[in-house]
Structure 1
Amino acid sequence: MIRKLSENTINRIAAGEVIERPASVVKELVENALDAGSSAIEVALSAGGRSMIRVADNGFGMTAAELELAVERHATSKLAEDDLVNIRTLGFRGEALPSIAAVSRLKILSRPRAGGDAHEIRVEGGRKHAVRPAAHSNGTVIEVTDLFFAVPARLKFLKSERAETAEAADVVRRLAMAHPGVRFTMTSDGRSLVDLRAGELEARIHAVMGREFQGNTVAIDAVRETVKLTGLVSLPTYHRAQANQQYVHVNGRPVRDKVIAGALRGAYADFMMRGRHPAVALFLTVPPDEVDVNVHPAKTEVRFRDQAMVRGLIVGSIRQALADAGHRASNTVGAGTINSFRPETSAYQPQPQSWTTPSRPGFQETQAAFEAFAPPSGAGVSEAPAEDELDTPLGAPRTQVHENYIISQTRDGVVIVDQHAAHERLVYEKMKAQFAASGVATQPLLVPEIVELDAASAERLLDASADLAASGLVIDSFGPAAIAVREVPSLIAGGNIARLIQDVADDLETFDATTGVRERMDHVLSTMACHGSVRSGRRLKPEEMNALLREMEATPHSGQCNHGRPTYVELKLSDIERLFGRS
């Protein structure tokens, strides 16, 4: 038998779509406060939002008649003539307040800014009380207590109080970033979590993202057709284990969109190892009729009319900004290095000696002792640097240590370069340039190299043979589980071909149907560049070290290798002097 559900059951079902956890309540109430034209919003939580959620604003406020309608389903002041295309507010469905009221105890206290008396309305588990007069200043206060008391089964799906509080604070920060002209505060059980004063957008971004983000970003400002993209994105060497530092907004609405997330992965695919994520604060401005914000009840997802264009704008503008950054690397790399030398973090502590100090040798003996430590001829130690080289970004190379690290002197410090990581990036950028121009230059092998593989790997390589040939790797079948390599890119000639083929086969296995051809080829080129770079353990001559540094300065993205690791660390002289108590 078919029957119509009761109004209370309908509201609880709607609440299940809109109100998942305390953070969902905070999001809906703060969005309402922003739509009400507030310049200051205060959020307070108790017990992670289970016991109490309170949002106060100084917005337009509501009259007694508006309060009566506000807790009814699909009652809204934000849709002009029921236009679902030209949406310019954060909320518009009219589901938030009745959904919250269906599963909690809700109290709304409001007074209109335009003048009039304050009124209050209460709703408990969907049961509405009459509107009554109250005492209140301009604006609105909404208090939600005993969340999910009407549906106690939902409580067991909530996380710990700390986790729920952290999620609610993240919601406030995301909304605050998109509305820098509004003052935001948030407390949890009396403890301040968010305190953001009204100000400029860049100051708000840095206040939310933290001090480290401020010095490790490049600016984005691009337009394609009718879509504008602005914001800040991190350098590839400044990354996170999770994507929780990715703040993306569409027309002032914080979103977690799959298209945008995929575009960010594509933009950093050349520069960041898998499993790491950039930190970004991006703002997309799209004509309302070209983006659908009515995709999900929680309004956290959007759908663009031209998704390919939006993705191309994000990928292209970020890659261009990173290219303009040149060889610049994250300043946290050098700071982390300095911190590793701090005396309090050192495992070594000098111990008092019991033996007698020998008599001090004469000057000639000391000089001879130092000469005994002089490196052998041709060990890669340069003469005194030229004055003009000291003023270059990466300085003048002075020596090589451990057959892998180049020590360079600048005018105000030193630079330590990982020769393998740096050369890997240089080779990769050359191969990409060749590939884009006319295909990668190849070198035929006098005798084809036969590489034994499993049948599946061999099949993957043969299926991609045309693309691999454009990348400079020419292969043929040699039996059911073997590959004959006939040509290799000239830039990596002389490397371990068998290992290279196995790594390329592994790369091809990780790709899926959504991976673009260019993205696949860039990853293959990256793998080949790794095999063709200067290996750790090779001793370089002074002129080779100098050539490597100068080429890094002229090559985009040379501040990080193909896997996102830094290629150099810069230590300022002032930092080094502080280590020795000289300043």
Structure 2
Amino acid sequence: MSSIIQLLPDHVANQIAAGEVVQRPASVVKELLENAIDAKATDIKLIVKDAGKTLIQVIDNGVGMSVTDARLCFSRHATSKIRHAEDLFDLHTKGFRGEALASIAAIAHVELKTKQDQEELGHHIIIEGSKFVSQEVAVLPKGTSFLVKNLFFNIPARRNFLKSDTVEMRHIIDEFQRVALAHPAIYFTLIHNGSEMFNLPSSNYRQRIVNMLGGKTNEKLVPVSEDTEIVTISGFVGKPEFAKKSRGEQFFFVNDRFIKSGYLHHAIMSAYEGLLKEGNQPSYFLYLDVPPHTIDINIHPTKTEIKFDDEQALYAILRSAIKHSLGQFNVAPVLDFERDPNLDTPYEYKDLKSSFPTIQVDSNYNPFATETVSAKTSSTSNFSGSSNGSSYSSRGNYQPKESASWESLYVDLKTDTEAVTNVSFESEEVTGSLFNDNEIEKETSRTYQIHKKYIVSSIKSGMLVIDQNKAHQRVLYEHYLRNITVSQASSQQLLFPLELFFSVDEVQFIKELQPSLENTGFVFDTISNDTIQISGIPVNVQESEVSIVLEELISNLQNEIPESSFSLNDGIAKSMAKSLSVKTGTYLSEKEQENLVNSLFACKDPNVSPFNKPTFITLSVEDLDKKFAL
């Protein structure tokens, strides 16, 4: 019987390996930036076109490579970082597998230009789909330039699975931020489609965070520092009042390598216990330095998860360090044990006995014995009104009048109260209804709210139970979607422009959403690198809610934007409807309940919310009878 197991060709094996290493353009960015850092570069420039689909180029001034290394670096499992298996537990570099460049070269067009400092000439190598096209000598500056074009050109199925340019660029920015924050001493530059997005000169950790996320970030940061035998912790955490709904500004670095750890994140949330509103997330930029032999990095393909030898001790130290920093800088409430010396009992009083106060009672005292008629007259005259019934004039003066009895206080007393005029409400015309007109009982059309969550209304066939939150989401969703598509939204002008501060990448995101947001009622005056000035907002949005609405909009759409522009508008309408809808636990008056019910059944699709959840249920009389027949 012939053998059925065969060795795969190298180019096929590289394409399979690329499935783990290169998931999207951001994966290429991560590998090339880390290689530049391992090459001891002090200036790294990242150039991207079409969110990395067309071009990704990383230029550094590192040590460069010889001609042999330049060719060998594209071979599988070729690395300069490790020699023995024991080296995996004593890593001081970023890349060490030797698969990244081989995988990238298998699915893209790659150009490598490199030159060592002591060499007069450099080397220019071109590879297409793992095949060496050309290799020649060239005059080049010191360092290395990796140019990756047409990613997934030979795997169209993988290319079709890529998201929109906005989503892919968001992932590239995430990887760029993680590398740049871990190495503040290196000069980083990011250019997308010819426009410079980030220019980060060499600085310290705090200045790098401020340059990355905007100038207002500086006042949000609280320093954290702790030095123990197990771990050395440094970095910053955000003040509780600046917490956001999203988790975008949360960074863990272990030995200058970005990691994700739900366990350590729980330690931070525990330190913030009682300081955050429900659902808010604190910002943190924490750098942990541990001995390399106490961690295992090689447990995840992307190397973003690490196994620690003693996680429990690390948890306790991290939690304690953050609690201490929040209390030290008067962010968290603390008990004040400083005593006031004026409240201390003098020492010489220690032998004195306590004395009780004496009470004297006059048993012959009668409070009614001294009351006279003249006293009564004098007291009542101070409050008597004038003959025309007006006790006080418009200037606050009054004329005293003697009165013999209390009945005179109410003689000719007139009231200025008038009958309250009836207020009529303009009823909104309902264009559609889910039920027939004769099915709704007019005499029992009153609605009731249960647990500040559900609205109950009776119909002829039984009972209608409406979820007020999901129903309002449907109403607002169709309202905003209609405004965006027909561009006829009304806005309320603000007396003073509202100035909001966002990170640099969030501002870029809002710029892309600006036309759709203006159709919902927002009016933008100026948009700078980290500041947005708004002079008009949608009619049903409060000024205090604008920042929350935009933050939630960015958080909801950053990783979920579909391809078409209509779907983008749909996503904006869904996000705003979710943020501004009536929440569970909100009391609604009877008028508000009726208006919500009428608005719901005037919608085109009142049965489900924008997120395909039912907005109401019906209970027929037969269903209720069955419940009581059990």
Residues 1:64 and 1:235: Cα distance change in structure 2 (over 3 Å): same
* Cα shift readout 1:65-122 (whole Å, capped 9, x = no counterpart): 1101111111111225551111000111111111111111111110012324200112
Going from structure 1 to structure 2, the CA distance change for 1:238 and 1:367 (only over 3 Å counts) comes to farther
Letter in 1 for 2:45: E
Match of 2:39 among 32, 36, 39: 36
Question: Could you tell me which amino acid in structure 1 is paired with residue 228 of structure 2?
Answer: R
- The offset of 1:279, in angstroms, is 0.7
SS at match of 1:176: helix
Structure 1 partner of 2:286: 282
After superposition, the C-alpha distances for 1:372-413 in whole angstroms (9 at most, x for unaligned) are xxxxxxxxxxxxxxxxxxxxxxxxxxxxxxxxxxxxxxxxxx
- In the alignment, what sits opposite 2:612? none
Counterpart of 1:176, as a letter, is A
Is 1:248 paired with 2:248? no
> Which residue does 2:373 correspond to in 1?
none
Q: Which amino acid aligns with 2:41?
A: S
CA distance in 1, matches of 2:63, 2:116: 6
Moved more, 125-134 or 186-195: 125-134
2:91 to 84, 87, 92: 87
Pairing partner for 1:164 from 147, 161, 168 = 168
Going from structure 1 to structure 2, the CA distance change for 1:270 and 1:148 (only over 3 Å counts) comes to same
Name 2:157's counterpart in structure 1.
153
Match status 1:296 vs 2:337: no
From 121, 138, 142, give the equivalent of 1:117.
121
Segment drifting more, 313-322 vs 276-285: 313-322
SS of 2:88's partner is coil
Q: Distance in 2 between matches of 1:319 and 1:283?
A: 16
1:20 matched to 2:26? The reply is: no
The answer to whether the Cα contact below 8 Å between 2:275 and 2:332 also exists between their aligned partners in 1 is no
Q: Give the C-alpha shift of residue 224 in structure 1.
A: 3.1
Partner of 1:102: 106
How far residue 170 of structure 1 moved from its aligned partner, in angstroms, is 2.1
Query: Residue 69 of structure 1 corresponds to which residue in structure 2?
Result: 72
Residue 49 (structure 1) aligned with residue 64 (structure 2): no
User: Aligned Cα RMSD in Å?
Assistant: 2.1
Offset, 1:4: 2.5
**Aligned twin of 2:12:** 9
Distance 1:314 1:368, change over 3 A: farther
How far apart are the structure 2 equivalents of 1:19 and 1:113?
A: 31
Contact 2:107/2:152, CA 8 A, preserved across alignment:
yes
Deviates more, 1:20-29 or 1:261-270: 261-270
- Cα distance in 2, alignment partners of residues 172 and 368 from structure 1: 73
Corresponding residue of 1:184: 188
1:213 corresponds in structure 2 to 217
Does residue 134 of the first structure (1) align with residue 138 of the second (2)?
A: yes
**Contact 1:64 / 1:131 at 8 angstroms: preserved in 2?**
no
Q: What SS does the corresponding residue of 1:90 show, helix, strand or coil?
A: coil
**2:220, 2:320 → 1: CA distance?**
20
Counterpart of 1:270, as a letter, is G
Q: Is the contact made by 1:38 and 1:59 (CA closer than 8 Å) also made in structure 2?
A: yes
Question: Any idea what SS the aligned residue of 1:240 has?
Answer: coil
Cα distance between partner residues in 1 of 2:395 and 2:312: 69
Question: Measured at CA, do residues 318 and 150 of structure 1 come closer, stay the same or move farther in structure 2, by a change above 3 Å?
Answer: same
Asked whether the equivalents of residues 101 and 124 of structure 1 are also in contact (C-alpha less than 8 Å), the reply is yes
Structure 1 residues 70 and 367: alpha-carbon distance in aligned structure 2, compared to 1, 3 A threshold = farther
Equivalence for 1:496: none
How far apart, in 2, do the equivalents of 1:254 and 1:20 lie?
18
Task: Find the aligned partners of 1:262 and 1:128 in 2 and give their Cα distance.
Answer: 49
Give a deviation string over 1:446-491, Cα, whole Å, max 9, x none.
xxxxxxxxxxxxxxxxxxxxxxxxxxxxxxxxxxxxxxxxxxxxxx
Task: State the shift of 1:367 in Å.
Answer: 8.8
* Equivalent runs, 1:299-310 vs 2, <5 Å: 299-310=303-314
Which amino acid letter does the alignment assign opposite residue 230 of structure 1? S
Partner-residue secondary structure (3-state), 2:202: coil
8 Å contact 1:223–1:313 — kept in the other structure? no
| Amino-acid identity (%) | 35
Q: Is the 8 A contact 1:41 1:58 kept in 2?
A: yes
Would the aligned equivalents of 2:60 and 2:144 in 1 still touch at CA under 8 Å?
A: yes
Q: Which residue of 2 aligns with 1:408?
A: none
Query: Partner amino acid for 2:319?
Result: V
* Secondary structure at 2:154 match in 1: coil
Q: CA deviation at 1:157?
A: 2.0
Q: Distance in 2 between matches of 1:281 and 1:43?
A: 23
Give 5+ residue unaligned stretches, structure 2. Answer: 334-392, 398-630
1:291 positional shift: 1.1
Query: Is the CA contact (8 Å cut-off) linking 1:36 and 1:59 kept in structure 2?
Result: yes
Aligned to 2:444: none
Structure 1 contact 68–131 (Cα < 8 Å) conserved: no
- Matching residue's letter, 1:23: A
- 1-side partners of 2:24 and 2:14: how far apart? 16
Q: 8 Å contact 2:20–2:301 — kept in the other structure?
A: yes
Amino acid at match of 2:293: D
State the distance in 2 between where 1:129 and 1:247 align. 41
Question: Separation in 2 of the partners of 1:149 and 1:320?
Answer: 53
Shift of 1:11: 0.9
Tell me how far apart the structure 2 counterparts of residues 8 and 318 of structure 1 sit (CA, whole Å).
50
Question: What code does the residue aligned with 1:78 have?
Answer: K
TM superposition shift of 1:133: 1.1
Mapping for residues 465-476 of structure 1, pairs under 5 Å: none
How far residue 150 of structure 1 moved from its aligned partner, in angstroms, is 1.7
Seen in structure 2, the aligned counterparts of structure 1 residues 50 and 303 have a Cα distance that, compared at 3 Å, is same
User: Which residue type is aligned with residue 200 of structure 2?
Assistant: L
In structure 2, do the counterparts of structure 1 residues 219 and 25 end up closer, same or farther at CA, with 3 Å as the change threshold?
Answer: same
Residue aligned with 2:198, SS: strand
Conserved in 2, the CA contact under 8 Å of 1:60 and 1:114? Answer: no
Q: Which residue, out of 239, 263, 270, partners 2:267?
A: 263
> Is the partner of 1:43 in helix, strand or coil?
strand
Residues 205 and 235 in structure 2, CA contact (< 8 A), matched pair in contact too: no
Q: TM-score, normalised by structure 1?
A: 0.55
Is contact 2:239–2:331 with CA below 8 Å preserved after alignment?
no
Contact residue 70 and residue 76 of structure 1 kept, 8 A: yes
Superposed CA offset, 1:331-357 (max 9, x none): xxxxxxxxxxxxxxxxxxxxxxxxxxx
Cα distance change of structure 1 residues 154 and 274 upon mapping to structure 2, 3 Å threshold: farther
Alignment gaps of 5+ in structure 1: 330-364, 370-583
Matched residues in 2 for 1:313 and 1:154: separation?
44
Residue 5 (structure 1) shift = 2.4
- Tell me which of the two structures has the higher relative contact order, counting C-alpha pairs closer than 8 angstroms and 6 or more residues apart: 1
Could you tell me which of 222, 234, 239 is aligned with 1:235?
239
